[in-house]
Structure 1
Amino acid sequence: MPLTRDEDIAELLGSTRTIAMVGASDNPSRASFGVMKFLQDKGYRVIPVNNRITGEHVHGEYVWRELCQIGEPIDIVDIFVNSENAGAVVDQAIAAGAKAVWMQLGVVDEGAASRAEAAGLKVVMDRCPKIEFARLGLAAVG
């Protein structure tokens, strides 16, 4: 069952240092662009993943094609893709050894959430970390 209690979400955000953002964009008008910058400003390392802009840089970070290429521990995979593609990203997050998956606002895939939980990952679904950060009154990490 996805995390819904404020305490659990706050604990996840507080224990996280590295976030891989699948669907990160280099377009300032896209929500992922602003959320990535917000999370960086709060002290997280945010690694962008987007096969359309692989090799580019977003907010100073190299953009990877796939999660498996990152080669370092990932605390949360932030999923900024539509619900139809979220399951594949969750499967990649499991394979990459991520500790949690976070499906953005409007992204819901119950089957993928169940697979992630069965693999031992924490799951947040249909929420935005930027909104939760402010709503819960959290301070910067690190």
Structure 2
Amino acid sequence: MNHDVYPDHYLADILRETRTIAIVGASPKPERPSHRVMAFLLRKGYRVIPVNPGHAGRTILDQTVVARLADIDEPVDMVDVFRAAHALPALVDEILALPNPPKAIWGQLSVRDDKAAATAEAAGINVVMDRCPAIEYPRLIG
């Protein structure tokens, strides 16, 4: 897929079909983008699971934080990535090792690695990079 431009229907379908989102790099600090996006997604009715090894066992926005994706005990539809782009290849490997990989990986603004995306797509996972669901949701869904 060309990750320079996404058809609106591609993004909207992911947002509509997603129910549970793991946010990798979730922060308890309200001023951080991951915190604001998590709050937005919760307000829109998504189940959101924060993933951050430094805060595992604590809560962010009343949601219990897990250390890694493998610690989540329920299926996840989408993994939203708030990590540096260079972390994406290892994260894709971690995602592919899950017993039930998500339907989508969403890399936040500036999170892009085309090779990692190709690996995920070869496994049947939809990939979005360098976009924010808190920007795309209002634009596409309302």
**Same fold? TM cut 0.5:** yes
Residue aligning to 1:78: 80
Letter paired with 1:112:
A
Matched, 1:111 2:115: yes
Letter paired with 2:105:
V
SS of the residue corresponding to residue 78 of structure 1 reads strand
Residue aligning to 2:43: 41
SS of the residue corresponding to residue 52 of structure 1 reads helix
What is the root-mean-square deviation of aligned Cα atoms in Å?
1.1
The correspondence of residues 79-98 of structure 1 with structure 2, limited to 5 A, is: 79-96=81-98, 97-98=101-102
Q: Which moved more, 1:1-10 or 1:49-58?
A: 1-10
Q: Give the TM-score taking structure 2 as reference length.
A: 0.93
Residues 14-40 of structure 1, C-alpha deviation per residue, up to 9 Å, x if partnerless? 010000000000001100000000000
Cα distance in 2 for residues equivalent to 1:98 and 1:52: 23
The correspondence of residues 1-142 of structure 1 with structure 2, limited to 5 A, is: 1=1, 2=3, 4-96=6-98, 97-136=101-140, 138-139=141-142
Letter paired with 1:108:
R
Q: Give the TM-score taking structure 1 as reference length.
A: 0.93
Cα distance in 2 for residues equivalent to 1:89 and 1:24: 15
1:78 Cα deviation from its structure 2 partner: 0.2
Letter paired with 1:52:
G
8 Å contact kept, 1:94–1:121: no
Cα distance in 1 for residues equivalent to 2:15 and 2:95: 17
1:87 Cα deviation from its structure 2 partner: 1.5
Structure 2: gaps of 5 or more residues: none
Q: Larger RCO: Structure 1 or Structure 2 (Cα < 8 Å, ≥ 6 residues apart)? A: 1
Which consecutive segments of 4 or more residues in structure 1 shift more than 3 A? none
Matched length: 138
Letter paired with 2:116:
A
1:86 Cα deviation from its structure 2 partner: 1.5
Cα distance in 2 for residues equivalent to 1:66 and 1:83: 18
